[in-house]
Chains A and B, each alone.
Chain A
Amino acid sequence: MSFFRRYAQNVGALVGLAILVVVIIVAAAAPILYPVSPWQGIGDPLLGPFEDSAFPLGTDMLGRDIAAGLAYGARVSLLIGVISTAVAVLIGVSLGAVAGYYGGRVDDLLMRFTEFFQTIPAFAMAVVLVAIFSPTITSITLAIAVVSWPPVARLVRGEFLSLRSREFVQAAIVIGQTGPRIMLTQILPNAISPIIVTASLMVATAILTESSLSFLGLGDRNMMSWGFMIGAARTMLREAWWLSVFPGVAILVTVLAINLIGEGLNDAMNPHLRGRKG
């Protein structure tokens, strides 16, 4: 059975994909749907949901449209989620591949380094990094990447280490292929599925981290984000529940969708690991 057929058999994964597509469309169409900046107050303050048909999700204390905020927030979440994951995967794969393939001292050194970054509390470190380098979209993305690469490095190292001793890799050495070539053409293609699965789940975690940072006020001040909306609405919880409920639901649904996709990918790529029915 092909990969796509197996993926399509997983209802949860399909639902996740559908949700993610909707989120992507909303994010892409945000400037068309809501031409006015989400920072601009354009309605009465603190309109409840469905009180005014122009603002179906209500407005905040400055009369800003919650729905517009959600649409623009999706852009930030997806952008930071994807780019920080890409950077983290790049770092993790490079370090993990070198450590796993060459072993010995190189491996020792790189793994000590990785362990160090894995031990120190990731979120606290992200907070410190963003605070010290002042919150911009670049510093946030990099901070999230810096705290999230170690699991990738460990995963890739493990894969390379075990694949390295596999006979087809030994055979590649025996026929005279060079180290970099073996890593790229023999080992990496066989290690790619777990990397993809991990990366997809990391996007979800990155979105959670980004929202947590901006909840603490460490978001980019020029970009509306879901975490910021919740953080700003925190003091209004008693008076205006919708200010924090809707952005939270947006985060939940997006992260859930990506997790479902990740699990779907995992099942589709490792069919033998999947439990039998019944």
Chain B
Amino acid sequence: MKTLEFLIQRLAKAVMVVIGVVILNFLLIQLAPGDPAAVLAGEAGAGDEQFIAQLRAQFGLDQPLYVQLLSYLKNVIAGDLGFSYRNHVPVADLILERLPATLLLTGSAFVFSLVLGITLGVIAARRRGSIGDSVIMTGALVFYATPLFWVALMAVLVFSIHLDWLPPFDMETVGAGYTGWARVLDIAHHLILPAVTLGLFFTAVYTRLTRASMLEVMNLDFVKTARAKGVPRGRIIRRHVLRNAVLPVFTFASVQAGQLVGGAVLTETVFAWPGIGRLMFDALLQRDYPVLLGVFLVTATVVVAINLVTDLLYRIVDPRIEATG
């Protein structure tokens, strides 16, 4: 009953955000320097007067703004994200084709960074002040300061060019024609470098966060109670500290989902990963604005969906939410 209400509320909020992004996109087209029709056409036909005029009529660009906005909204809701005049394909088709690759990459990077980050953070907090703690925290500090794309390039330099262990480009071996498990393995092999380099920055973030959170929880009164009960140290960490400390890390990770998807633009560019990030980069080069805006909308939608799911999960994990939420 209460959960249903919560679900509806959260869903409404998510829809509002997505609509907000659509409106934002529309405003950007309007606010862009020059003719909105030229923006929509991209580089493809900027010089062609007749083509621009045709576009203007097609999009009703001579009508009042709110009418344009409504029809734009209507189109997007119907799944029409515009047309890439550059590629002569509907934007939605382009994006849908590329989306799975991005979800695979960001999903793997997310799991990798969360698991590694929390593990390292817990180790560092338990061995506070030790050499292990210093090594972990220095590493986290360095990766927190390193540009994603540069880590990716350096990884290619070392692991692909010099050591020749891992493939530097693409999602699978071109022309190999693998099927079944062989293909899965091949993709996994290609996935390692992009996922790890994308995940390292976030690993650093989660490590620092977990350690800080663990240390904070260790100072709370109920940990003292547990000691007064005679609970051994290992069990205190596992049963009392860990769960309380990791919850805020999850919340933060969910808020950060947007950053992860944004980072995928860079990683996919470096590794020629056939996802929407790479698509965005190509659209940039080609001034293909409908694709650019479409990718932006879809990434925002993905992030909203992730946040929605984590909110629901959080509600299950933390008993206090129901009372205060």
Q: Which residues of A contact B (CB under 8 A)?
A: 115-116, 118-125, 127-129, 131-134, 204, 208, 211-212, 215-218, 227, 230, 234, 237-238, 241, 244-245, 248, 251-252, 255-256, 259-260, 275, 278
Interface presence of B307 (CB below 8 A): yes
How distant is the Cα of A124 from the Cα of B296 in the complex, in angstroms?
6
Q: Which of A120, A132, A238 has the most CB of B within 10 A?
A: A120
Partner of B284, one of A216, A252, A260: A216
Q: Could you say which of B60-68, B74-82, B89-97, B145-153 contacts chain A?
A: B145-153
> In the assembled complex, how far is the CB of residue B152 from the closest CB belonging to chain A, in whole angstroms?
10
Interface on chain A toward B: helix, strand, loop, or mixed SS?
Answer: helix
Chain A residues positioned under 8 Å from B20 (CB to CB): 116, 120
Chain B residues positioned under 8 Å from A119 (CB to CB): 17, 258, 300, 303-304, 307
Q: Cβ of B284 and Cβ of A218 under 8 Å apart?
A: yes
Q: Could you say which of B230-238, B263-271, B314-322 contacts chain A?
A: B263-271
Partner of A121, one of B142, B150, B259: B259
Known contacts A123-B262, A123-B263, A256-B142, A275 near B215 by CB under 8 Å = yes
Q: Cβ of A131 and Cβ of B299 under 8 Å apart?
A: no
Interface residues in B127-162 by Cβ distance below 8 A to A read 128-129, 141-142, 144-150, 153-154, 156-157, 161
How distant is the Cα of A61 from the Cα of B241 in the complex, in angstroms?
55
How distant is the Cα of A234 from the Cα of B157 in the complex, in angstroms?
10
Partner of B261, one of A124, A132, A218: A124
Interface presence of B196 (CB below 8 A): no
Q: Could you say which of B46-54, B220-228, B285-293 contacts chain A?
A: B285-293
Partner of A120, one of B21, B157, B284, B295: B21
Chain A residues positioned under 8 Å from B146 (CB to CB): 248, 251-252, 255
Instruction: List 7 A-B pairs, minimum CB-CB distance, nearest first.
Output: A123-B262, A121-B258, A248-B150, A256-B145, A255-B145, A121-B262, A120-B300
Q: Which of A115, A127, A216, A227 has the most CB of B within 10 A?
A: A127
Which chain A residue lies CB-closest to B293? Answer: A128
How distant is the Cα of A275 from the Cα of B219 in the complex, in angstroms?
10
How distant is the Cα of A272 from the Cα of B293 in the complex, in angstroms?
47
Q: Which of B156, B262, B303 has the most CB of A within 10 A?
A: B262
Which chain A residue lies CB-closest to B303? Answer: A121
Q: Cβ of B17 and Cβ of A208 under 8 Å apart?
A: no
Chain B residues positioned under 8 Å from A132 (CB to CB): 28-29, 31-32, 39, 289, 292
Interface presence of B33 (CB below 8 A): yes
> In the assembled complex, how far is the CB of residue B12 from the closest CB belonging to chain A, in whole angstroms?
12
> In the assembled complex, how far is the CB of residue B184 from the closest CB belonging to chain A, in whole angstroms?
28
How many residues of chain B are within 8 Å of chain A by beta carbon? 52
Q: Cβ of B259 and Cβ of A133 under 8 Å apart?
A: no
How distant is the Cα of A245 from the Cα of B161 in the complex, in angstroms?
14
Chain B residues positioned under 8 Å from A122 (CB to CB): 258-259, 262
Chain A residues positioned under 8 Å from B209 (CB to CB): none
Q: Cβ of A237 and Cβ of B161 under 8 Å apart?
A: yes
Interface presence of B191 (CB below 8 A): no
> In the assembled complex, how far is the CB of residue B305 from the closest CB belonging to chain A, in whole angstroms?
11
How distant is the Cα of A122 from the Cα of B259 in the complex, in angstroms?
6
How distant is the Cα of A127 from the Cα of B281 in the complex, in angstroms?
9
How distant is the Cα of A238 from the Cα of B156 in the complex, in angstroms?
9
Chain B residues positioned under 8 Å from A121 (CB to CB): 258-259, 261-262, 296, 299-300, 303
How distant is the Cα of A218 from the Cα of B31 in the complex, in angstroms?
19
How distant is the Cα of A135 from the Cα of B293 in the complex, in angstroms?
17
How distant is the Cα of A248 from the Cα of B270 in the complex, in angstroms?
14
Q: Cβ of A212 and Cβ of B147 under 8 Å apart?
A: yes
Interface presence of B187 (CB below 8 A): no
Known contacts A123-B263, A133-B33, A212-B266, A259 near B144 by CB under 8 Å = yes
> In the assembled complex, how far is the CB of residue B197 from the closest CB belonging to chain A, in whole angstroms?
13
